[in-house]
Amino acid sequence: MRILNLDGRLSLAVRDGAVDVETASGGTFPADVMSVYERWDEFAQWARDFSGAPDRSLDDAAVGPPVPRPAQVFAVGLNYRDHATEAGLGLPDRPMVFTKFPAAVTGPYGEIVLPSDTVDFEVELVAVVGRRARNVVESDAWAHIAGLTAGQDLSDRAEQLSGPPPQQYNLGKSFEGFAPIGPALVTPDEFADPDDIALGCQLSGVQMQKGRTRDFVFSIPQLVAHLSRILPLLPGDLIFTGTPSGIGWVRDPRRTIAPGEELVTFVEGIGEMRHTFVAR
């Protein structure tokens, strides 16, 4: 099952098109995309039983973020072994968690404004919570995930690492547009193995990052269990699960994003995001 935000309306991918959920469900489910996460089990059953034809074609210009207004956005640092190695850091003994503010969320296509010349790219798999999670054990964690989507943890490194000590992770990663997600939310059952998914990104046509989520330090079930021991995870919350090696900041010379460049982000089974960057 693939969930889309088309022109701000909850939509379901159907064959080579999509269907407007409010119309197809006779108003059982409203058009507001966020409303579905509070009723995820009910909606998922309806969507799996739906057998109608698409009522619109897919147009990139219409596609918005599949979770436009999350209550909480968590992100995990150093969650790939090769990324920890390239950063010259040891593997963490528990998830290294920071946040991206929800106002940073944007869609999978379009322009993003560069606040400086120190903006870096970080392709990520993003898990979307579909059921309130509190003190969840790892074996039950996938049952609390509505689906997966692609994300970029864009980071203004100068702001992120300002200090001393460096304490601006949240702000440096939360400029407007710095949390693009999409193009669809895909339910875990659509993947051959939701714990082993390929992902990567290209900047101006050059492959920068490439990895597989089987190389996580902490799996999605481990992240859900860890976070839910501390606070409730709410329907529609986002968990950015970390980035593989290849980020620009540790390259020699450093490679950050310049105005006019295009960043293409790919996650297997979900699709591509494409963003161009403009100067402030």
| CB-neighbour burial class of residue 170 (10 A; exposed 0-12, middle 13-18, buried 19+) | middle
* Alpha-helix residue ranges (DSSP H) falling in 38-189: 40-49, 81-86, 157-160, 169-172
The CA distances from residue 207 to 196, 258, 276, in Å, are 20, 16, 16
In the predicted structure, residue 163 carries a pLDDT above the cut 90:
no
Spatial separation of the C-alpha atoms in residues 242 and 78, rounded to whole Å: 7
In the predicted structure, residue 238 carries a pLDDT above the cut 80:
yes
- Return the bridge partners of 207, or none: 202
Q: Give 157's pLDDT tier (boundaries 50, 70, 90).
A: very high
How is residue 83 annotated by DSSP? H
Place of tokens 């870096």: 120
Of 63, 82, 98, the residue that ends a domain is 63
Of 63, 80, 107, the residue that ends a domain is 63
Q: How many CB atoms neighbour CB 15 within 10 A?
A: 8
Predicted TM-score (pTM) of the model is 0.97
Please give the pLDDT value at position 198. Answer: 98
Percent composition of the chain: helix, strand, coil (DSSP 3-state, to 5): 25, 35, 40
- Are 83 and 58 part of one and the same domain? no
Mean pLDDT is lowest, of 82-86, 144-148, 239-243, 272-276, for 82-86
- Are 37 and 21 part of one and the same domain? yes
Over the stretch 165-213, which tens digit does the pLDDT of each residue have?
767 889 999 999 999 999 999 999 999 999 999 999 999 999 999 999 9
Residue type, 10: L
- Are 175 and 92 part of one and the same domain? yes
Please give the pLDDT value at position 26. Answer: 97
- Are 153 and 57 part of one and the same domain? no
Q: Give 164's pLDDT tier (boundaries 50, 70, 90).
A: confident
- Are 131 and 149 part of one and the same domain? yes
- What does the pLDDT average to over 141-167? 93
Spatial separation of the C-alpha atoms in residues 151 and 228, rounded to whole Å: 22
Structural domain tally of the chain?
Answer: 2
Please give the pLDDT value at position 278. Answer: 98
Nearest to 155 by CA among 141, 165, 134, 170: 170
Over the stretch 96-129, which tens digit does the pLDDT of each residue have?
999 999 999 999 999 999 999 999 999 999 999 9
Show the domain range for 190. Answer: 67-279
- Are 160 and 240 part of one and the same domain? yes
- What does the pLDDT average to over 32-44? 98
> Is the Cβ–Cβ distance between 173 and 155 less than 8 Å?
yes
Which tokens hold the place of 275? 């963003």
Which tokens hold the place of 45? 């059953």
> Is the Cβ–Cβ distance between 29 and 10 less than 8 Å?
yes
Please give the pLDDT value at position 225. Answer: 98
Which tokens hold the place of 241? 């699960």
CATH number at 161 reads 3.90.850.10
- Are 13 and 117 part of one and the same domain? no
- Are 10 and 97 part of one and the same domain? no
